[in-house]
Amino acid sequence: MQTLHLDLGKHSYPIHIGHGLLDRAHEWIAPLIKTPRVAIVSNETVAPLYLDRLQNALEKSGIGALPIILPEGEQHKTVESWLAIHDALLAARCERGTTLIALGGGVVGDIAGFAAATFQRGIDFIQIPTTLLAQVDSSVGGKTGINHPRGKNMIGAFYQPRMVLIDTDALATLPARELSAGLAEVIKYGLIRNTEFFVWLENHLDALLAGDAAALQYAIGQSCACKAEIVAADERETGERALLNLGHTFGHALEAEFGYGNWLHGEAVAVGTMMAAAASKARGWLNDADCERIARLFERAHLPVRIPPADVERLIDWMRGDKKVASGKLRLVLLEAIGQAAVHPARDDEELQTALTACMDD
């Protein structure tokens, strides 16, 4: 087991990573809570697998639980799901001192985190992510939110958890497609600013795909450490934190265009990263071999690197609707090299067109 610390002054918190942690969850949770009952938000897929185990662990410390089970899927990351949590908390007379635990993937964590941020102006919140994507990305850093018909994560808050508890055993039940989607974000950390980790991934990708526990803990630890470092430097994404969005401005447009829920977030990020790489190549920063090398790693992780034919103008429109637009000017996270990302303003629509079509089937 490994423990990292996200240093955010009085909002600092630990990230525990290891296997077998779920059945011992009470050891870390009991010292944090203020009331004898917690609320646990999960979904229809994760609850049958892990809710009992979490509740049994909590019972060992005499902690009761109010389970709140959401339907599964990005298409349910809505105002309605968020309100359903508030309804359940109020119906059960939960209080300001209640701690809310998110048990599930990124969607559960984002909705539950936003509910915790807004229930009676904010209650304590613990993340127990059960997908690789959530373990290496969304559970760390305090971004919470829900989707709006006009765009992803348009409504939300920065709200830090009190703790993140990552049990790598949970990945055993994760569908292969979702493990791959999580690997897209893991690869992203290598690309952003850790060439050494990128090379490690090239050498250990097969072990990760095979579910090797030591490899998973190392990759998750590296990913969380990178994220924690960047978030600590820029909690509210005014600068450096934008680097974490490599592939995301393109990716969000793909998710919106092809329908939330049809593409996994990580899949969209993989293609989006290839689009960012294409734009970086057009600027002369990456060469063909670099792009090939990135594509090869994504492909080995069973991730898409191209999209089917689509309306380029509409995609650009989605990108302009993305919340990372500053003063009408679209900003892109580009790669100056493998392991060195930087934010640059997009030059013009032609640049976006070129990047999009470079990764589009005829």
The site for a second copy (CB under 8 A) is made up of 34-35, 79, 83, 86-87, 90-91, 93, 95-97, 114, 117-122, 143-145, 148, 150-151, 153-158, 236-237, 320-321, 323-328
| Pair 345, 331: CB distance under 8 Å | yes
Using the minimum distance from each CB to a second copy, give the nearer residue, 199 or 326. Answer: 326
| Pair 17, 4: CB distance under 8 Å | yes
* 265 in active site: yes
Angle formed by the axes of helices 79-91 and 106-118, to 10°? 60
Measured CA distances, 250 to 63, 342, 353 (Å): 44, 15, 11
Instruction: With residue 110 as reference, give the H or E element that holds it.
Output: helix 106-118
Q: What's the closest the beta carbon of residue 99 comes to a second copy, in angstroms?
A: 12
Look at residue 343 and give its three-state secondary structure. strand
Using the minimum distance from each CB to a second copy, give the nearer residue, 158 or 200. Answer: 158
Using the minimum distance from each CB to a second copy, give the nearer residue, 48 or 97. Answer: 97
Catalytic residue among 227, 257, 267, 281: 227
* 237 in active site: yes
* 121 in active site: yes
Catalytic residue among 16, 26, 77, 143: 143
Catalytic residue among 72, 74, 185, 255: 185
* 252 in active site: yes
Using the minimum distance from each CB to a second copy, give the nearer residue, 212 or 234. Answer: 234
Catalytic residue among 93, 121, 150, 329: 121
Catalytic residue among 77, 162, 241, 281: 241
Q: What's the closest the beta carbon of residue 104 comes to a second copy, in angstroms?
A: 21
Using the minimum distance from each CB to a second copy, give the nearer residue, 93 or 311. Answer: 93
Q: What's the closest the beta carbon of residue 318 comes to a second copy, in angstroms?
A: 12
| Pair 216, 179: CB distance under 8 Å | no
Residue 120: both structure tokens together: 């009676």
Using the minimum distance from each CB to a second copy, give the nearer residue, 79 or 176. Answer: 79
Read out DSSP for 135-199?
IIIITSS-EEEEEETTEEEEEEEE---SEEEEEGGGGGGS-HHHHHHHHHHHHHHHHHH-HHHHH
Q: What's the closest the beta carbon of residue 294 comes to a second copy, in angstroms?
A: 29
Q: What's the closest the beta carbon of residue 142 comes to a second copy, in angstroms?
A: 9
CB atoms closer than 10 angstroms to residue 148: 14
Q: What's the closest the beta carbon of residue 342 comes to a second copy, in angstroms?
A: 20
Catalytic residue among 153, 194, 245, 257: 245
Q: What's the closest the beta carbon of residue 321 comes to a second copy, in angstroms?
A: 7
| Pair 316, 279: CB distance under 8 Å | no
Q: How far is the C-alpha of 99 from the C-alpha of 125, rounded, in Å?
A: 6
Using the minimum distance from each CB to a second copy, give the nearer residue, 91 or 289. Answer: 91
**Cα angle at 344 between 339 and 347, to 5 degrees?**
130
| Pair 105, 81: CB distance under 8 Å | no
Residue 354: both structure tokens together: 């070129």
Catalytic residue among 26, 77, 188, 248: 248
Question: Tell me, what DSSP letter sits at residue 47?
Answer: I
* 143 in active site: yes
CB atoms closer than 10 angstroms to residue 122: 12
The catalytic residue positions are 121, 143, 185, 227, 237, 241, 245, 248, 252, 265
